[in-house]
């Protein structure tokens, strides 16, 4: 099997970290580059977190790491330290990383990847879409070469996680999401409607980590603790949603989810609805409107088997 070239665009918080571990442990993927974007925490911290994780995983053919947008296209940056910790990785201490990011920007790295791998490339966007929107504005011809963009974001028919009607990634940069949803690019959206169908309980994490005791598994336990305590306080379960690992799993095996093609746009001006994804579920075909593939159901068992196999490798 020839591994699929992948670029991951991330606002490296805790679930992003789990997603990166799964991706880097999956033989189906060849992670060529990781680009960072401000979101869960400031972009400098995201970059630091990616470099630390690459050291921890002792990755052989190390992907390029390129730093991206420090803030959304128009809005002021909103971060989520209450969810991921001030550092983005649950406040755990890491020894300083010796590896360095590339001098290329995230936008340059994204466009280079599109020109190098074209239709073979999948971009997994697990943070706000700022870098991708900037890449589109700079050189849409190159970005059009991408094979597929899998974007974790949005919420359609369940409550939001950033106010009542918005999901965090698209709330942070609604203008970037609006740009991407009007490009006609092949986008698969992985919304909260899907990611809230799966919860990882703390006791299962502890059981699996103990069974495969190592520096990596103990680090996974430590870096997820703060994030799980947040969900215990806010959502009433001592565990975690695994939003970003699900987006990576969709890149590994698209048959894990069932999608519906529809027109989606993102509210950029709403006083109460900033970042809300407005989807047209009506059956009538809407000529000339751009559409995306929205993943609404997942094969839970198959995802969890893949997730645990790769995470605890
Ligand atoms: O709403 C969940 C998404 O926002 C995840 O990607 C999480 O890491 C944050 O970026
Ligand atoms: Ca994320």
Residue 108 phi/psi, 5° resolution? -60, -40
Cα(177)–Cα(167) distance, rounded to whole angstroms?
11
Dist CA 220 CA 90 (whole Å)? 10
Q: What is the pLDDT of residues 203-250, one digit of tens each?
A: 999 999 999 999 999 999 999 999 999 999 999 999 999 999 999 999
Share of the chain above pLDDT 90, in %: 91
CA 193 to ligand 2 center in whole angstroms: 16
Taking only the tens place, the pLDDT of each residue in 121-171 is 999 999 999 999 999 999 999 999 999 999 999 999 999 999 999 999 999
Contacts of 157 (CB under 8 A, 6+ apart): 193
Better-scored residue on pLDDT, 98 or 301: 301
Q: Ligand 2 centroid vs 12 CA: distance in angstroms? A: 6
Phi, psi of 199 (to 5 degrees): -125, 135
Cα 112 from Cα 215, distance rounded (Å): 35
Q: Are 248 and 4 in contact (CB under 8 A)?
A: no
* Distance linking the first and last C-alpha atoms of the chain: 20
Q: For ligand 2, an ion, list residues with CB under 5 A.
A: 11, 16, 126-127, 244
Structural domains present in the chain: 4-311 (3.90.245.10)
* The predicted structure's pLDDT at residue 118: 98
The reply to whether the predicted model has a pTM over 0.95 is: yes
pLDDT at 93 over 80: no
Confidence check: pLDDT of 183 > 70: yes
Who lines ligand 1 at CB under 6 A? 11, 13, 15-16, 39-40, 126-127, 152, 161, 167-169, 243-244
Of 84, 231, 243, 263, the catalytic one is: 243
- Ligand 1 atom with the shortest distance to the CA of 162: 1
Please tell me the predicted confidence (pLDDT) of residue 125.
99
- Between CA 270 and CA 98 the distance in angstroms is 44
Q: Is 263 a catalytic residue?
A: no
């Amino acid at each position: 099997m020839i591994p699929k070239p992948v670029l991951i665009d991330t606002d490296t918080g805790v679930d992003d970290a789990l997603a990166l571990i799964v991706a880097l442990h999956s033989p189906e993927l060849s992670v060529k580059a990781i680009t960072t974007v401000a979101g869960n925490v400031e972009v400098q911290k995201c970059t630091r977190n990616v470099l630390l994780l690459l050291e921890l995983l002792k990755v052989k053919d190390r992907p390029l790491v390129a730093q991206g947008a420090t803030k959304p296209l128009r809005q002021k940056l909103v971060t989520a330290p209450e969810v991921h910790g001030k550092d983005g990785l649950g406040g755990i201490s890491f020894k300083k990383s010796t590896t360095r990011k590339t001098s290329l920007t995230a936008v340059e790295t994204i466009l280079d990847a599109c020109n190098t791998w074209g239709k073979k490339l999948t971009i997994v966007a697990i943070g706000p879409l700022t870098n991708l929107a900037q890449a589109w504005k700079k050189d849409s011809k190159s970005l059009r070469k991408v094979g597929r963009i899998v974007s974790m974001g949005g919420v359609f028919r369940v409550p939001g996680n950033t106010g009542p009607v918005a999901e965090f990634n698209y709330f942070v940069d609604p203008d970037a999401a609006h740009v991407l949803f009007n490009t006609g690019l092949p986008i698969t959206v992985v919304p909260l409607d899907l990611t809230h169908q799966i919860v990882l309980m703390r006791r299962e994490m502890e059981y699996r980590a103990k069974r495969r005791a190592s520096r990596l598994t103990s680090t996974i336990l430590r870096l997820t603790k703060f994030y799980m305590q947040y969900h215990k306080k806010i959502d009433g379960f001592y565990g975690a949603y695994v939003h970003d690992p699900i987006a990576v799993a969709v890149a590994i095996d698209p048959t894990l989810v069932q999608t519906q093609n529809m027109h989606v746009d993102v509210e950029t001006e709403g006083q109460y609805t900033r970042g809300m994804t407005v989807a047209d579920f009506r059956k009538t075909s809407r000529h000339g409107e751009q559409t995306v593939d929205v993943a609404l159901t997942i094969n839970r068992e198959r995802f969890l088997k893949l997730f645990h196999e790769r995470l605890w490798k």
